[in-house]
Structure formats: structure tokens, C-alpha cells
Chains A and B, each alone.
Chain A
Amino acid sequence: MLEVTGLSAGYGQVEVLHGLDFTVPKGQVVALIGSNGAGKTTTMRALSGMIRPRAGSIRLNGREIGGLDSHDVARFGLAHSPEGRRVFPTLSVEDNLTLGAFPRLTGSRPKGDVAADRARAFELFPRLKERRTQLAGTLSGGEQQMLAMGRALMLRPEILLLDEPSMGLAPKLVEEVFRIIRLLKAEQVTMLLVEQFAMAALGVADHAYVLENGRIRFQGPAQQMRNDPAVRAAYLGGSH
């Protein structure tokens, strides 16, 4: 589904990613974990076109999308729920969701039934349904996270990128978010999940990659990595 080879990217003079290789098979959840500054969000941004890769290739279903602008990447079915949620604060919950389907409404992607998908989103996130006409900027952090995920799903994406969904959320809400991720997993939604909090991510992913200083340190089935001391060392230092 998503094949990344030799990805290098950075900001200005700084190269943050030094040749990453990873894949996200169809229907699976892959986690990218690592401490802050390791390059997780930079990876997401390179995938969704927010920054331009300096080297390497990104193939979505065989098509090369590396270097495209984000609106083109969305057209090809990559939905990115960004770090910090970034919902549109002066638009209503409903409008936010509708905008998630923008390429479908303007002919860049097969249209399908947008209204039905919106109704589905409200089923999945009942709290959003209660607040459908409320301005997104007035929602709580947890609700905004739901909205960001729902908005990304409105694209009917080939792959869903979730960037630090638990950031800034209280533990109860983190549980809620991961319950939803599990639901989506059951529906075979292909996901790439970036999380600072390794444990939560490893609990829901099939496969995981540990990022450190812009390189993949090691990878493996998520189950196996849950108790691996090497994971803890990647975050808190100490012997590797």
C-alpha cells in the first residue's frame, strides 16, 4: 500500500530524516514511535506533502507521491490527521467534516455519498453529533481530536495518517481515541500511527518501527516490542 524507501527530509539546513525505509501493508496498522525530536512528525509531513523530501521515494499503491503538494497527495487518497489536530476553528463541526471530502465534492476523487459518510462519522463520534453546528474552535481537545480523525476519514482514504492523536489529552480521552482506532482497525482501515507514547501505540498496531535521530533503530511485530527494554532505552537513554 505505502512503500517508503530512502526517505530523507529536513528543514532549512537541518536534515532530520536520514534515509528511512518502511512499509504499511494494506489493512494493517503500523506504528512509528520514538522520543521527541526523533523525526516522527517530520516523516508524516514528508508523506503528506507538507514538506518536500530531499531524497528517497514514497509510493502509494505503486504511484510515486514524493514531492507533490499536499492537495495533490490528498487527491490520491492519503489523509493526514495532523499533529495538534488543526481543525478549522471558525467553521462548524459539520463544515469541518464536509471539507474533509473536498476532493470528492470538487471532482478530484470519486464522489460517493458524502452525506451518508457524514452520518457515519456522527455514529462513530456521537459527541460530535451533539455539537454538529458548534464552531470547531470551541470544542475541547478530545473532541477536536475526534473531529480531526473524522474529517480525515471523510476523504475515504486509501491510507490514514494519524499524527500524535494522544498529544495533550487526558488519559480517559486517550482511551477513547484508541478505542476508535481499534474500531477502524476492525474495519480494515489502513493506518500509519505516529505516537510519542509508545505503549498506547504498541497496543493497537500490528507492526512498529522505532525512530531515533532520524533513523529507524529497529522494528518488529508490535506485540513483541511491548516489553522490550530497548524501546525504553530509545526514549530515556541508557544502554541500547
Chain B
Amino acid sequence: MAILLQLIASGVAVGMIYAAIAFGYQLTFATSKTLNFGQGEALALGALFGLTLVPFIGYWLMIPLVLVFGFALGAVVERLGVRPAVKIKSEYGWIMATIALGIIFKNVAENIWGRDDLKFPSPLPETALQVGGVRILPMELLIVAGALLMMLAVEIFNRKSIWGKAVVATSNDIDAAGLMGINTQKVITLSYSISAMTAAFAGVLVAPVTLTGATMGSVLALKAFAVAIIGGLESGLGVIVGGLILGVAETLTGFYISTGYKDVPGLILLLVVLSIRPVGLFGKAVIKKV
């Protein structure tokens, strides 16, 4: 029983990272019906950039700089990878372009930071806390808190600020948003910037508890997509639920079956959900218009 609780506790932390990345997918998909296939690389670059800064200014001061870095990165991805493809209405175009950018970023990162995985210094003590018989790393608590805080911050932005409302309006109805005087192209760029920012932030959150390297983001991003699908690419709450389900399923698989198969439940879940309900568990069915 204690082991089960332990596994669930670790699963929650992992799950929140998935939720945070999936959140980023939702942001861009809502406004532009596109997403960044290189989201994992945004996470890795955030972590590596943060790693480089930490010896100079420490963990906490590094965070805002990583956020700015992620913000800029998102704008670059949108400008180079997405906008030209959307203009010529080519789905194949932005899928391949964002994949290509991801590959380029990963390769450049490998050359700058090397191919080996690095250790990211943890800002919090690395001894586990005992909470009711379950051992939890302080960093895992930070992950959960950080991810939730970030998603909350974006939600508040969406609800309170006029630009946030413009983002929601664009996701609801891009034509009507234009009629309001909203420059929807800017909104799309903004959503990509916020999306990459959240990925980069997730990167520095997860880096201390895992190995940091150019490849750290790839599988995370794929599984986060599973979470986004399960949660529905339009729903906010769904990704948190989806992330938790996946995170726990993984830690349980890793323990009871084998660590090699740890990644499998997420992927199978993705296939199963899409076979049965292509819009995701929380998604809304679309009425065909012919």
C-alpha cells in the first residue's frame, strides 16, 4: 500500500509536467489550429539555457530569463515555421516545418552543450520528505506547485487582461475577433510565445529530477500530446486530469511491469482514445457542415 501511494505521488509530479506541456499545445491549437511538433525541444532548450545561467545567478533569478527566452523562441517558431504554412493553407507545411525546427534546435543544442546528459543542480534540498509514510522530493512539490501556478497565471491573463481576452476571442471565432479590431496574427504569435514559454519553464522545473540534455524533451512532448488529446485540445481542465492519469499509469507500469515499458501506457492511451473518440475525452464533437 505504501508503495502504491509512493508511486502515485511520483506519478503526480510527472503528470503535472505533461499537463504543462499539453497546456502549451492547447494554447496554439485554440487560436490557430496548429501546434508545435518541436515543443519538446523548447523544453530542452529552456532547461539547457537555465543550466548555463544557474552558476551565475542561481536558480530563482534564472527563471524569469528562461521565460523571456522561451517567449522569444515561440515567436521564432511561429514566424519561421507556422505563419508561411498557414498562409498557403498547408497542413503538411507547418507539421514538417515545426518538426524541422525542432530537429535543428536539438542538433544545435547537442553541439553547444554536448551529447551527454548533464546534472541540473537542484534549488531545493535533495533529501526526501516523509509525508504520511510516503517519500516525496521537495523538488517534486515544486514541480506540482510551479506547473499549477503557471497555468493559473495564464488563465488569469486570459480572464483579466484585454489581450488575454483577445486571445480567448481569437480561439472562439477568429473572424469575429478580427471584426473587433483584434490583430489576430499578433494573437497567434502571442499564443506561440506563451506556449514555448510554458514549455521552457516546464524544462527548468523537471530538469533537477531528471537528466538534462538535448534529447530530454522528445518523448515528453509526444506523451504530452497524448495528454492533450485525452484532455481535448480545447479544454483547460482536461489536461490536468489527463496528465495525472498518464503520470500515475506510467509510474505504476514502470514498477509493476518494467521500466523499459514505462512510456508505453501513454502511447497506447493515445491510440485507443483516438480510435474511439477522435476529439478526445473532453473535446466537443463537431457538427459537419456540408
Contacts and interface: CB of A to CB of B under 8 A. Distances in A.
> Is there a contact between chains A and B in the complex with CB atoms less than 8 Å apart?
yes
A88 interface: yes
Contacts of B162: 98-99, 102, 105-106
21 contacts: A49-B178, A50-B175, A50-B178, A50-B179, A69-B183, A71-B181, A79-B179, A82-B179, A89-B172, A90-B171, A91-B168, A95-B165, A98-B165, A99-B162, A99-B169, A99-B180, A100-B180, A102-B180, A105-B162, A106-B162, A108-B181
Interface in A51-92: 69-71, 74-75, 79-80, 82, 86-91
A150 interface: no
A205 B172 CA distance: 33
B198 to A, nearest CB: 20
A98 B181 CA distance: 12
B168 A90 contact: yes
Contact of A74 (B166, B168, B169, B180): B180
B156 to A, nearest CB: 14
A212 to B, nearest CB: 26
Interface string B145-184: 0000000000000000010011011011101111111111
B172 to A, nearest CB: 4
A90 B168 CA distance: 8
Nearest to B175: A50
A214 interface: no
B178 A91 contact: no
A103 interface: yes
B182 A88 contact: no
A99 B163 CA distance: 10
A90 B172 contact: yes
A191 to B, nearest CB: 16
A86 B169 contact: no
Contacts of B181: 71, 74-75, 102-103, 106, 108-109, 155
A166 interface: no
Contacts of A155: 180-181
Interface in A169-215: none
Contacts of B168: 88, 90-91
Contacts of A87: 176
Contacts of A89: 172
Interface in B164-211: 165-166, 168-169, 171-173, 175-184
B179 A88 contact: no
A186 B208 CA distance: 67
Contacts of A100: 180
A48 interface: yes
Contacts of A109: 181
B165 A91 contact: yes
In the A-B complex, the 10 residue pairs with the smallest Cβ-Cβ separation, listed nearest first, are A74-B181, A70-B178, A103-B181, A86-B176, A88-B172, A102-B181, A88-B169, A71-B183, A102-B180, A80-B179
Contacts of B172: 88-91
Given A86-B173, A88-B173, A89-B172, A69 B165 contact: no
Contacts of B175: 50, 70, 82, 86
Contact of B166 (A48, A86, A102, A151): A102
Contacts of B176: 82, 86-88
A147 to B, nearest CB: 12
B33 to A, nearest CB: 16
A74 B179 contact: yes
Interface in A111-134: none
A106 B179 CA distance: 15
Given A90-B168, A91-B168, A105-B162, A99 B182 contact: yes
B52 to A, nearest CB: 37
B179 A70 contact: yes
Interface string A156-168: 0000000000000
Contacts of A79: 179
A98 B179 CA distance: 13
Contacts of B184: 71
B23 to A, nearest CB: 16
Contacts of B182: 71, 99, 102
Nearest to A161: B179
A76 B184 CA distance: 17
A154 to B, nearest CB: 9
Most buried by B among A80, A98, A102: A102
